[in-house]
Amino acid sequence: MSYQYDFIVIGGGAAGLTAAGMGANFGAKTLMIEADKLGGDCTWTGCVPSKTLLHASKLAAGIKEAEAFGHQSAKPLNFSAILKHVRKVREEVYEEADDPDIYRDMGVEIEFGTARFVDDHTLAIYNEEKTTIKEVKGRYILIATGSKAMVPPIKGLDEVSYLTNESIFELEEQPDRLTIIGGGPIGIEMAQAFQRLGTQVTVFDMQDRILSNDDEELAGMLLKRLKSEGVEFQLSAGVNEISQNEDGSVLVHVEIDGEEITQDGDALLVAVGRAANYKSLNLDEAGVHYSKRGITVSDRCKTNISHIYAAGDVTGRYQFTHMSEHMAKVAASNAILKVPMKIDTEHVPWSTYTDPELASVGATQRQLVENSTSFETYRFPYSKVDRAITDGDTDGLIKIFAKKWNGKILGATIYGKQGGDLIGEYALAMKNGVTLRNIADTIHPYPTYGLGVRRAADQWYVKNQSEWMSKLVKKVFRYQGEIPDLSDKNRIV
C-alpha cells in the first residue's frame, strides 16, 4: 500500500506538537490535523491562562499585604483589564511557540478540520459544515486529541449558565460570588485566584478533603491557608440539583450530613475533571480499542492496532501537559525511530500552582502503606529554610519517603513556595538512582529554596545516627560534650 504521509498526527496540542516536530525532524513526511487552534488546552484554556491569572491574583494579594505597611493603592482593581491581560499572554505564547508557520518551517504539513477514521490507515478531514475536505492515508498515525471539561450528570445543570476552564477566562465582568463544584487542581487554583481578586468563593466537593490525589497532611495545610484567605468550603457534599433565579444567579442544592442547604452565587464553575476527546474519531472503523476513560494504549503508547498510537489526555492515563509531551516522545520514538521506549510511570511529578504550591512525585504515603512497603518519612519545614524566612514565606513542609538503610527515594511531596520547581530535583534523583545521602552530600547555593531540598535530605543522616556509634566516638576521642537524645523521632537538624 502507498501512503501520502509517513506520519499523521491528529491534534495540535502539547502531545501533537511534540510528536509532529519529532516526525519532521527525522525525515518522516508528517501531517498534523487540528480541529481548532494549535496549542491545545494548555495554551488556550489551561496552563497558560490559569497561571497568568494566578500571578495577577498573587500581585493583588501582595498589594493588600503592602497596605498593612502603609502603602495606599492609587486605583481599585480592574478585573476586566486583568482578564484582558490573561488573553493577551495566551496570544503571545501562541505566536512564539504554537503558530502554524513555526511548524510548517520545520516541514510539518497542517490541515485544519475534524479527523475521522475511514479505515486503519485512512482519515477523512471534515470542515465545520461537516463537509469532507479530503481523505489522507498514513503509514503511522498518532491520536493526540486531548480532553475536554467533564460535565457531571447533575439535575438541572444543562438548564443553567455555568463556566468551565474552557470559558472562565472569557469573563468580562467579575462575579461577586463564585460557586465552584470540584476540589481538584483546577477548582482549587481558581478558588484562590478569584478570592484574592475580590470575589467571594465557595467550593463544594463530595470528598471529605481537597486534592484527593495529594498527600493528606499537606493538602490539609493548603486547605487551612485557603480558608484563612476567605475561601469557604463545603466538603462531603453531594450536589443534588442546580437551578437558576430570574436575575441570573445560580442555586446549588447540596446535601451535607443529611442536611440540605442551598448556595446562591453569581457564577458557577464546574471543575470535576477532564474527559478524553475520542468519540468523534470513528475509532471502530479503524478497530482501535477504547473505554469510557479513553483510548487503550500500552506503555509504548501503542493501541491494539500496531501502526496506530495515542498519547496525552486522550488515553485517560495522565492529564498533565508534561506527561502529554513525554508520551508523545515515547510514541514517536517507537513509531518513527523504532526505538523501544516506554512511558516512565514511576517518576511522574505533578503540581497544583496555588500560593503556596503543592507538588509531588513518585509514590504517596498512602500508596506505600497500602502496598506494605517499608519506608521512613523525612520532614523539613520551610520555617527552617533561611530564604523562606527572608521572604516571609515560611508556610511550607517538605516530606520525603525513602528506604531507611540506603536512602533510596520512593516518593516526595512539597507544600511551599516554588514547590513545583523543587519537586523536579527529586524526580531527577529518583530517575537516576540518586539517594538522600547523595543529595545531602551535594553543595547547594545559599540562601535558596533549593537548599531546603538538601537540608531535607540531611535528615537521613540525622535519623540514621547510631547512639552506640556516637558513644564509641565520644569515648575513643575523649570528647566532653553530651550526645543528644537520638530516640526523638521528631528531631530536625
Residue 403, φ and ψ in degrees, nearest 5: -70, 135
| pLDDT per position as a tens digit, 92-108 | 999 999 999 999 999 99
Where residue 128 falls among pLDDT bands split at 50, 70, 90? confident
Where residue 46 falls among pLDDT bands split at 50, 70, 90? very high
Segment 424-444 mean pLDDT: 97
The region of weakest confidence among 55-64, 66-75, 149-158, 484-493 is: 66-75
The identity of residue 42, as a single letter, is C
What's the pLDDT score for residue 468? 66
Enumerate the CATH 3.50.50.60 domain ranges in the chain, comma separated: 5-38+99-149+275-337, 157-272
Angle at 404 between CA 425 and CA 357, to 5 degrees: 35
What's the pLDDT score for residue 64? 79
Q: What is the rounded distance in angstroms from the CA atom of residue 352 to the CA atom of residue 361?
A: 12
Does the domain at residues 157-272 carry the CATH identifier 3.40.50.1820? no
Q: What is the rounded distance in angstroms from the CA atom of residue 364 to the CA atom of residue 362?
A: 7
What's the pLDDT score for residue 478? 86
Nearest residue to 396 (alpha-carbon basis) of 444, 341, 456: 456
| pLDDT per position as a tens digit, 161-211 | 999 999 999 999 999 999 999 999 999 999 999 999 999 999 999 999 999
pLDDT value at 73 more than 70: no
400 beta partners: 378, 412
Do 23 and 108 contact (CB within 8 A), yes or no? yes
CATH architecture of 5-38+99-149+275-337: 3-Layer(bba) Sandwich (3.50)
The identity of residue 378, as a single letter, is Y
String of DSSP letters for 185-201:
HHHHHHHHHHHHTT-EE
Does the domain at residues 349-477 carry the CATH identifier 3.30.390.30? yes
Q: What is the rounded distance in angstroms from the CA atom of residue 326 to the CA atom of residue 172?
A: 36
pLDDT value at 68 more than 90: no
- Predicted TM-score of the model (pTM): 0.94
What's the pLDDT score for residue 203? 98
CA atoms within 13 A of residue 199's CA, in its CB half-sphere: 25
State the angle between helix axes of 321-332 and 14-25 in degrees (0 to 180), rounded to the nearest 10: 30
pLDDT value at 480 more than 90: no
**Which helix (H) or strand (E) element contains residue 488?**
none
Segment 305-325 mean pLDDT: 96
Do 181 and 270 contact (CB within 8 A), yes or no? yes
Do 190 and 50 contact (CB within 8 A), yes or no? yes
The region of weakest confidence among 56-70, 145-159, 255-269 is: 56-70
String of DSSP letters for 295-359:
B---TTSB-SSTTEEE-GGGGTS---HHHHHHHHHHHHIIIII--------SS-EEEE-SSSEEE
| pLDDT per position as a tens digit, 271-303 | 999 999 999 999 999 999 999 999 999 999 999
Q: Region of 176 please: left (phi>0), alpha (psi -120 to 50) or beta.
A: alpha
Angle at 11 between CA 9 and CA 15, to 5 degrees: 80
Contacts of 477-481 spanning 24+ positions with Cβ under 8 A: none
Enumerate the CATH 3.30.390.30 domain ranges in the chain, comma separated: 349-477
Copy the grid coordinates of residue 58. Answer: 498573587
Burial of 259 (0-12, 13-18, 19+ CB in 10 A): exposed
Do 356 and 380 contact (CB within 8 A), yes or no? no
CA torsion sign, 83 to 85 to 88 to 90?
Answer: negative
pLDDT value at 32 more than 80: yes
Residue found by looking up cell 469573563 in the block: 171
Copy the grid coordinates of residue 242. Answer: 442546580
- Residue 341: how many CB atoms within 10 A of its CB? 17
The SS3 of residue 444 is coil
Residue 204, φ and ψ in degrees, nearest 5: -110, 140
